[in-house]
Structure 1
Amino acid sequence: MTERLALPPLPPEPEVLIECPRFSFVKRRADGAVDFVSPLPCPYNYGSIPGLVSDDGDPLDAVVMGPRLPRGQRVRVPVVAVIGFIDAGRGDPKVVCSTSPLTAWERAGLERFFRVYAFFKRGLHRVRGNVPETRFVGWLTPAASTSAARGS
């Protein structure tokens, strides 16, 4: 099944606000509120791109590859990929930023992480009494404002 996920036009090197430093267990929103507590540490710096919004109404999520960055730091890093993700039935793509192209190992690691993340988020939704669709979709093409998934 081919899906379409809304993806706002991306600058080649967006400013990313780090909300969850690499190896953290707690994912926070831009306002500091706890969004999700993971049973496993996040192997990436996780944050958002201020001023860009996902289909879920939240700031567009971003992953910054590389060494641990402090919570609250703002960095400008080139976009190298975009991951298609559905959370609670709504488009929630993840922009991947890095100073170098992703290796096959890094791509596989990101896929594994977001498949496991989706599994735990589905469990969280069920505990809250909801059963919306939450899953990893595949890799998206960042150049277009709306992109089709390229596999799942």
Structure 2
Amino acid sequence: MMFANTSTFSNTLAESYRDEVCLAAIQCKDAPTHAVQGTVYFSTIVNSEKFEWALVPLESRDVKLYASPPGVTHAVCAENRDVLCAGEGSYKGGKLTINNRSGHYKPSCDSLEPAKKYWIAAGFLPENIIVKKHSHELVHELVYDGFFG
């Protein structure tokens, strides 16, 4: 599926990427750390209840949906590339829930609607997709402006 000119989000923690790749390899043991939509392992990850996901634009103007087991960072999931959106997902009882919660990329809430279209293209019915928006700005205000301090 092609993408229109849309803003992308860069890895804000790029300096730790190499360490994260090593940790992900240890965590996943003999399994891959991430998979692209259309592969058996992608389906296995998504059907395992909880997962991380990233929507990655490629140079060909194509877009790929990636998934990783929980605990593998979004940077590893997206191979340290810019993303159109990234977040957490869960699949339970035929319902797919996605959000934009990623500390590495901090994608906007607005990036979720276009991302939903790619999940539909991946075979999920629109009525079975639940989108939960995560405000990175609100979290920043609560944590750094003294609410929890």
Q: Same fold (TM over 0.5)?
A: no
Alignment TM class, shorter chain as reference = 0.3 to 0.5
For the pair shown, which has the larger CA radius of gyration, 1 or 2? 2
TM-score (structure 2 length as normaliser): 0.33
TM-score (structure 1 length as normaliser): 0.33
Higher strand share: 1
Higher relative contact order (CA 8 A, sep 6+): 1
